[in-house]
């Protein structure tokens, strides 16, 4: 068969394909079933608000997830002593002047042998409560 005849023959055959299935189709019945199905599970049309809320929620998920990821990736940047300072500052407020002196004395005993954190000439007895607290805070910063 030559090319043109071949093409025409193919197209004629193709046009005939499925003709019987189409003829047998009960179009009204199909329409009824389609409508019945659509009534059972109607198309849920998303409103403008819904669409935007979905976008906002998606953005939040990305932000929170990204934040957590970054937090996990960046190593702990806590400077040694900062955490201790915070605790010292919290605890010092509850101590009396005598208790503060006592803490300093004990601390000096503990570390004084190797690392003289407090000047030996310093007279803790002459310091008031606030000054003692400042000394202790500064020690917290050192260690």
Partner 1 sequence: MAHPELRTETVDDTGLIAAWQAGDEQAAAELVARHARALARYLAGAGAPDAEVDDLVQETFIRAFRGVGRFRGQCQFRTWLLTIGGNVLKDYGRRAGRRKVLPLDESVQDVTGDPHEHAVATEAEARLSAGLHVLPRLQREVFLLRAQQGLDYEEIAGALGTTPGAARVHYHHAVKRLKEIVG
Of 129, 75, 73, whose CA–CA distance to 102 is shortest? 129
Asked if 1 interacts with partner 1 (CB under 8 A), we say yes
Please answer whether residues 104 and 138 qualify as being in contact, where contact means their C-beta atoms are separated by less than 8 angstroms.
Answer: no
Asked if 87 interacts with partner 1 (CB under 8 A), we say no
Q: Is 118 exposed, middle or buried (0-12, 13-18, 19+ CB in 10 A)?
A: middle
Please answer whether residues 49 and 56 qualify as being in contact, where contact means their C-beta atoms are separated by less than 8 angstroms.
Answer: no
Between 35 and 87, whose beta carbon lies closer to partner 1? 35
Of 139, 141, 142, whose CA–CA distance to 108 is shortest? 139
Between 1 and 74, whose beta carbon lies closer to partner 1? 1
What residues between 120 and 139 interact with partner 1 by CB under 8 A? none
Of 91, 114, 86, 115, whose CA–CA distance to 103 is shortest? 91
Cβ contacts of 54 within 8 Å, gap of 6 or more: 46
Rounded to a whole number of angstroms, the minimum distance from the CB of residue 23 to partner 1 is: 8
- How many Å apart are CA 28 and CA 87, to the nearest integer? 81
Here's the x/- map for partner 1, 32-71, by CB under 8 A: it reads as xxxxxxx----x-x--------------------------
Stretch that binds partner 1, among 30-38, 50-58, 63-71, 133-141 (CB under 8 A): 30-38
Between 10 and 63, whose beta carbon lies closer to partner 1? 10
Between 8 and 61, whose beta carbon lies closer to partner 1? 8
What residues between 8 and 27 interact with partner 1 by CB under 8 A? 9-11, 13-27
Sites of contact with partner 1 (CB under 8 A): 1, 6-7, 9-11, 13-38, 43, 45
């Amino acid at each position: 068969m030559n090319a043109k005849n071949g093409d025409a023959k193919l197209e004629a055959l193709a046009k005939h394909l499925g003709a019987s299935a189409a003829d047998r189709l009960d179009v009204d019945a199909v329409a009824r079933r389609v409508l019945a199905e659509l009534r059972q599970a109607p198309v849920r049309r998303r409103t403008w608000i819904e669409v935007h809320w979905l976008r906002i929620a998606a953005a939040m998920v990305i932000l929170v997830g990204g934040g957590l990821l970054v937090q996990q990736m960046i190593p702990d940047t806590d400077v040694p002593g900062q955490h201790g300072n915070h605790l010292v500052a919290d605890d010092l407020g509850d101590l009396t002047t005598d208790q503060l002196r006592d803490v300093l004395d004990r601390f000096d005993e503990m570390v004084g042998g190797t690392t003289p954190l407090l000047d030996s000439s310093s007279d803790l007895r002459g310091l008031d409560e606030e000054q003692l607290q400042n000394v202790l805070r500064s020690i917290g910063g050192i260690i």
